Chains A and B, each alone.
Chain A
Amino acid sequence: MALNTVDETAEGLSLRQSHPRYGEKVIRIILFAAAFVSIVTTFGILISLLIPSIEFFLEVPITDFLFGTTWTPLFNDGEFGVLPLLSGTIVITVIAIAVAIPLGLGASIYLSEYASSRVRKVLKPTLEVLAGIPTVVFGFFALEFLTQLVLIKIFPGIEVFNALSAGLIMGIMIIPTIASLSEDAMAAVPSGLRDGAYALGSTKRQTAMKVVIPAALSGIVAAFVLGISRAIGETMIVTIAAGLQPQLSFNPLIGMQTMTSYIAAAGSGDLATGSIEYKSIFAVGMLLFILTFVMNIFSIRLVRRFRQAYQ
């Protein structure tokens, strides 16, 4: 009401812009286009995966792909059952997660509930350095150090390329992901909840385990899910340290191929665009994308819900 009167009465002093600003509009369109690149990327990924995948499934029935137990794409009469790649992915992911969840959660509880600010100032960035190490370096370390200097002494029968070393090092690699997201979640828990627990006589451990963790649970679960998604999608560690032998087995001491390391190995050869091997990269890629997509969305929603609860 008040604004209207200003506009109507003081004609010479209008606060409206004197002439339309076309430049401003053009700039807005450019900015929007830049933001739109991210949507184009997602659709680009979907389409570039989908078209060759459909062509692939015209040649290989989708049930043979999903439930077949032999993966021999380079044979003349090749079989395309993805289960060996899936089992390789699962074995290595389970090992990685068995390392990363307890260690990452433990580290985050320590950093958020126990560490003095001085200790945290040193240890937190150190943990972040771990996140910045290129995965090819972790792969080298898994093969040259962990397998050949450590594991071979504990398990004399272990193969040079094996799922265990890849999984263990991948677990170490994921610790920072899980630790920093869980720590964020715990830091967002209002201190009133902690004070209440202390006032009722809880010790630090009881407060952390029975108050802080349950209150931060959806954020922590989101961190776990994102960690699993990273383990499934990790390529270089498995390509270098876990070998390239598709095996439908749950023995971690032998070499295995995962979905990612198959894509890397097949894609780095010079395959003809129309060949069935070339298309198989995209079919496996599609499966990988769907699996990680479901987990990412689940994790994003959990974080969102968590943020809403404490704002």
Chain B
Amino acid sequence: MSHTQIENQLAGRGTLLRDRVFMWSLFVSLAIGVLTLAVLLIYVTVKGWPRLDIRLFTNMPSVRDAENAGAQSAITGTIWVISFTALIALPTGVLAALHLEEFARPDSRFQRFIEVNIQNLAAVPSIVYGILGLAVFARALALGQSVITASLTLALLVLPVIIISTREALRAVPRNIRDGSLALGATEWQTAYRQTLPAAIPGIATGTILALSRAIGEAAPLLLLGAVSFITFNPDGVLSGYTTLPIQIFNWTKESREEFQVLAAATIVVLLLLLLAMNFVAIWIRNRTQKRW
């Protein structure tokens, strides 16, 4: 008897065939996701190719002149908005994570409440953050439809992600680094600031870059915050009007003329390349500085 025959007899009739079918259907379900991704990338590249040129970077958006329209104000707007998002979210997130991981009493009721709250905030639909930004930043604080309104809103949106990834990075720093520092007479803050935090920086950087790349691609909350109007100038301050790449893509998909769909596809390629670059930086930091304790 051959090996498979023996296996078949042990397992029962038809079991091995069912096993094989099962494994292939699992593989196919994984492949469908990967293939869709491949089709999507190829489709937008091919479709956007005719307009993937320098005009995209030098010219301003338009809904009339498809031939000469570009996405310059969307590119600069994205840079403005994301810079201030990072400036607000990164320190707040890291300090909050330091509190939760290094200073707060674990397992107190309040601590558990904060933790569940952060996990929930990470899953609140982004459009709800848009509503918050509209009611609080744009109208109540009268910041209007400006770069800073968008940055504050997106900062709140990515804050839970930054806190969660920073806490993981801090948790990966071994206990005895802290103990050694404390034993030499350092205070808790000195230990956290000079030992634990530096050791966790690669993890924090990776998590932050990934969180910011989520913010770069975000469009829904900005729809409520005034980015939809056609902006043909670069922002010149935090109270300036703005548009961003995802919003510009959205505006062009609404136009019925085919030229604008091509423009949208070309702008998508720019957006995806930007995200790809950020992800490479994140992976590079992780691989370069990965420490084995």
Total contacting residues, chain B, CB less than 8 A: 86
In the bound complex, residues from chain A placing their C-beta under 8 Å from that of B49 are none
> Contact: B131 with A48, CB < 8 Å?
yes
Total contacting residues, chain A, CB less than 8 A: 87
In the bound complex, residues from chain A placing their C-beta under 8 Å from that of B139 are 273
B198 at the interface (CB under 8 A from A): no
**Min CB–CB distance A11 → chain B (angstroms):** 18
A158 at the interface (CB under 8 A from B): no
> Contact: A233 with B124, CB < 8 Å?
yes
> Contact: B246 with A134, CB < 8 Å?
yes
Scan B260-284; emit 1 where CB is below 8 A from any A CB, else 0: 0100110010011001000100000
A257 at the interface (CB under 8 A from B): no
In the bound complex, residues from chain A placing their C-beta under 8 Å from that of B34 are 123, 126-127, 130
**Min CB–CB distance A153 → chain B (angstroms):** 16
In the bound complex, residues from chain A placing their C-beta under 8 Å from that of B121 are 38, 41-42
Which residues of B (206-240) have their CB < 8 Å from a CB of A?
210, 213-214, 216-220, 223-224, 228
> Contact: B33 with A107, CB < 8 Å?
yes
Q: Of A23, A102, A109, A139, which one neighbours B253 at CB under 8 angstroms?
A: A139
> Contact: B127 with A140, CB < 8 Å?
no
Which residues of A (29-85) have their CB < 8 Å from a CB of B?
30-32, 34-35, 37-39, 41-42, 44-45, 48-49, 52
* Contacts A134-B218, A263-B131; A38 near B30 (Cβ below 8 A): no
> Contact: A31 with B96, CB < 8 Å?
yes
> Contact: A235 with B125, CB < 8 Å?
yes
* Contacts A110-B29, A130-B37, A300-B119; A38 near B96 (Cβ below 8 A): yes
A31 to B128, CA, bound (A): 26
**Min CB–CB distance B166 → chain A (angstroms):** 11
Taking beta carbons and an 8 Å cutoff, which residues of B are in contact with A?
10-11, 15-16, 18-19, 22-23, 25-30, 32-34, 36-37, 39-40, 43-44, 47, 91-93, 95-96, 98-100, 103-104, 113-114, 116-121, 123-132, 134-136, 139, 156, 159-160, 163, 187-189, 210, 213-214, 216-220, 223-224, 228, 246, 249-250, 253, 261, 264-265, 268, 271-272, 275, 279
18 contacts between A and B (CB under 8 A): A28-B189, A32-B104, A35-B96, A41-B159, A44-B132, A107-B26, A114-B23, A129-B37, A137-B40, A137-B272, A141-B43, A234-B125, A236-B219, A240-B250, A264-B223, A273-B139, A289-B124, A289-B125
